[in-house]
Amino acid sequence: MMRTRPLKVALLGCGVVGSEVARIMTTHADDLAARIGAPVELAGVAVRRPDKVRGGVPAELITTDATALVKRGDIDVVVEVIGGIEPARTLITTAFEHGASVVSANKALLAQDGASLYAAAEQHGQDLYYEAAVAGAIPLIRPLRESLAGDKINRVMGIVNGTTNFILDKMDTSGAGYSEALDEATALGYAEADPTADVEAFDAAAKAAILAGIAFHTRVRLDDVYREGMTEVTAADFASAKEMGCTIKLLAICERAADGGSVTARVHPAMIPLSHPLASVREAYNAVFVEAEAAGQLMFYGPGAGGSPTASAVLGDVVAVCRNRLNEATGPGESAYTQLPVSSMGEVVTRYHISLDVADKPGVLAQVATVFAEHGVSIDTVRQQGKDGEASLVVVTHRAPDAALSGTVEALRKLDTVRGVASIMRVEGE
Ligand SMILES: NC(=O)c1ccc[n+]([C@@H]2O[C@H](COP(=O)([O-])OP(=O)(O)OC[C@H]3O[C@@H](n4cnc5c(N)ncnc54)[C@H](O)[C@@H]3O)[C@@H](O)[C@H]2O)c1
Ligand SMILES: N[C@@H](CCO)C(=O)O
Ligand code: NA
């Protein structure tokens, strides 16, 4: 039987995502009520600029005082779509203290302070849900936290940032320039308020931290994630990738060590073969592979950014939290019981594609090969092209610890015959 007293939702932030949450809550109110078993209403919307026209949001719901809104005491669910660390963190903890559960899309905050937010939620008997924080509309957090809770996850790898995938895709397929593609991604509502978070991979690293923490039941913070952005990927890198039958993607990779005693999390551009399913992920789509002991390999794919797709994930969480409240229950809290340490990037085993500009004279190839051998790095292929007394040497290695690979590059840079290291890129997905 439908409860008549409505559940009340407070919306913090009415930008790209918040405005879509408000729109869907209004236009689909009857369906949401039927699914929850009680009406759900927008009880207040905290904004920074109250004069802005917000179609569909009744003016009497708008406030600039987010703190007063979360302190009201009659709010069931606070939806935080402001972004950033403060005031979002204080507003969320204040919401818990005043009897509300929280749905957030804020990966930056969750990667930095997830543990203390979970603790605050638990202390006050409230829910903390954040499906929208990783891979936009794609159901990924809930499958990891709930559907796969009976399995052992060994690896999570994928494309988790829509903006950078959009830019790399445009650079690859239409030869578009970096800035032009970034402007387009921003106009489409994919980029963060400061797009440095996207292109320097802070956003993807935050998502990797969240995914690794949930997948391996441990605590992984943003600072634990090795991070390289995509601002230095050039048209020449794409040309090299093409020669290898590859493309370039910004990948997030979280792995359990072979001995099971530690985990790693990293985000960096990488070459992947065109035959790999991740190579065909276009525009702002995301895709994530999860490898679990019993389930095998699972792939999650869909829109990774944008107002409406992200609002879908937020509203799914709102429904889940409302259902929990009607049942006087809460969903899963933090699961970090394994306390596995996070190893450094140097211990990750990977492959490098290295382009060197070298002197075109006898013995250079042998000299270069010796440096690889001295670092215990085995060479897979070498290609050399001469040009006016200089040559370009492209070396692809076999798998080796990242520390050995970067040590090799450092030593190569010191050789007189190596004029420069034109590009270094990891090769994944083979
Ligand atoms: N845009 C996406 O595709 C997407 C996808 C997934 C997650 N997210 C996350 O969702 C959150 C919101 O993203 P967005 O794209 O909607 O950003 P946005 O910049 O479009 O919207 C944020 C809004 O919050 C408002 N705001 C800031 N401080 C406030 C305050 N103290 N009180 C009231 N309002 C305040 C801003 O004025 C702005 O309108 C971020 O955490 C972001 O990382 C965004
Ligand atoms: N800026 C983010 C939004 C989705 O989290 C992205 O481009 O993926
Ligand atoms: Na998601």
Residue 339 in any domain: the answer is no
Residue 53: what pLDDT? 75
For the chain, state the CA radius of gyration.
24
Tell whether 291 and 363 lie within a shared domain.
no
CATH code where residue 112 lies: 3.40.50.720
Owning domain of residue 48: 7-136+308-326
CA–CA–CA angle 115, 7, 9 (5° rounding) = 55
If DSSP codes are grouped into helix, strand and coil, which group holds residue 105? coil
Alpha-carbon 319 to chain mean position: 24
- Asked, for residue 420, whether it belongs to a domain, the answer is yes
Tell me whether residue 208 is in a domain.
yes
pLDDT digit string, tens, across residues 102-119: 999 999 999 999 999 999
Task: Give a yes or no: residue 141 inside a domain.
Answer: no
Tokens 């792995």, located at residue: 255
Question: Which DSSP string corresponds to 326-354?
Answer: HTT--------TT-PPBPPGGG-EEEEEE
How far apart CA 143 and CA 134 sit, in angstroms, is 12
Residue 6 DSSP code:
P
Q: What is the pLDDT of residues 202-212, one digit of tens each?
A: 999 999 999 99
Residues 111 and 177 both lie in one domain: no
CA angle 94, 97, 99 (to 5 degrees): 110
CA distances from 347 to 46, 228, 256, 375 (A): 46, 16, 12, 14
The two structure tokens encoding residue 301: 């794919």
Identify which of 186, 208, 180 has the alpha carbon closest to the alpha carbon of residue 268. 208
Q: Which of 8, 107, 207, 249 does the annotation list as catalytic?
A: 207
- Range 5-18 burial, b when 16+ CB lie within 10 A, else e: ebbbbbbbbbbbbb
Domain end (from 272, 303, 334):
303
Mean pLDDT lowest among 65-69, 162-166, 197-201, 422-426: 422-426
Residues 72, 37 share a domain: yes
Amino acid 418: pLDDT: 96
One domain, residues 132 and 174 = no
CA pair distance 192, 77, nearest whole angstrom: 24
Residue 192 to residue 210: CA distance in whole angstroms: 18
The burial of 273, by beta-carbon neighbours within 10 Å (0-12 exposed, 13-18 middle, 19 or more buried), is given as middle
Å from CA of 282 to ligand 3 middle: 17
Q: Any catalytic annotation for residue 242? A: no
Structure tokens at 249: 């993607």
Following DSSP, what letter does each residue of 65-84 receive, concatenated? -HHHHHTSS--SEEEE-S-S
Residues 214 and 353 in one domain: no
pTM over 0.95: yes
Q: Which residues of 179-206 are buried (b: 16+ CB within 10 A; e: fewer)?
A: eebbebbbebbbbbeebebbbbbbbbbb
Q: Identify whether residues 42 and 109 lie together within a single domain.
A: yes
Local confidence band at 361 (pLDDT 50, 70, 90 cut-offs)? confident
What is the C-alpha separation between 373 and 355, in angstroms, rounded?
A: 17
pLDDT at 23 exceeding the cut of 80: yes
The mean pLDDT value for 38-61 works out to 92
CATH code at position 233: 3.30.360.10
Instruction: Output the pLDDT for position 388.
Output: 75
**Are 156 and 272 within one domain?**
yes
Name residue 84's amino acid.
G
Quickly state the pLDDT bin for 385 (edges 50, 70, 90). confident
Give percent of the chain above pLDDT 70.
100
Assess if residue 333 is contained within a domain: no
Q: Among 294, 326, 358, give the residue marking a domain's end.
A: 326
- 8 A C-beta contact, residue 288 and residue 159: yes
Q: Would you state the pLDDT for residue 143?
A: 98
Does the pLDDT at position 134 exceed 80? yes
Residues 174, 279 within the same domain: yes
Tally of structural domains, the chain? 3
C-alpha of residue 307 to centroid of ligand 3, in Å:
13
Q: What is the pLDDT of residues 87-106, one digit of tens each?
A: 999 999 999 999 999 999 99
Ligand nearest to the CA of 193: 1
The position carrying tokens 């931290």 is 209
Q: What is the pLDDT of residue 296?
A: 98
pLDDT reported for residue 3: 80
Is 191 a domain residue? yes
Q: Which ligand 2 atom minimizes the distance to the CA of 286?
A: 8
The CATH number that applies at residue 372 is 3.30.70.260
Asked whether residue 272 falls in the same domain as residue 350, the answer is no
Residues with Cβ within 6 A of ligand 1? 12-18, 46-48, 66, 81-83, 87, 105-107, 132, 136, 189-190, 192-193, 305-306, 310
Evaluate the CA torsion angle 208, 211, 215, 219 in order and state its sign: positive
pLDDT, averaged across the chain: 96
Using CA positions, which residue lies closest to atom 28 of ligand 1?
Answer: 82
Residues 243 and 299 occupy one common structural domain? yes
3-state secondary structure of 225: coil
Same domain, 378 and 320: no
Nearest alpha carbon, ligand 2 atom 4: 305
Report the nearest atom of ligand 1 relative to the CA of 46. 33
Domain boundary among 249, 269, 303: 303
Helix, strand, or coil (residue 188): coil
Q: What pLDDT band is residue 386 in, cutting at 50, 70 and 90?
A: confident
55's CB contacts (< 8 A; 6+ apart) are 23
Which atom of ligand 1 approaches the CA of 197 most closely? 43
**Mean per-residue pLDDT, 221-227:** 97
Burial class (CB in 10 A: 0-12, 13-18, 19+), 336: middle
Farthest CA pair distance, the chain: 86
Dump pLDDT digits (tens) for 156-167: 999 999 999 999
Residue 261 shares a structural domain with residue 181: yes
Q: Label the pairing between strands 40-46 and 7-12.
A: parallel
Q: How confident is the model at residue 389 (pLDDT cuts 50, 70, 90)?
A: confident
Render pLDDT for 308-357 as a digit per residue (tens, 0 to 9): 999 999 999 999 999 999 999 999 999 999 999 999 999 999 999 999 99
Considering the domain boundaries, does residue 340 fall inside one? no
Q: What is the spatial distance between Cα 404 and Cα 284, in angstroms, rounded to a whole number?
A: 34
Q: Tell me: pLDDT of 430 over 80.
A: no
Does 200 contact ligand 2 (Cβ within 6 A)? no
Whether 195 is covered by a domain: the verdict is yes
pLDDT of residue 224: 98
d(CA 102, CA 318): 9
Q: How far apart are CA 8 and CA 74, in angstroms?
A: 7
CA pair distance 234, 167, nearest whole angstrom: 12
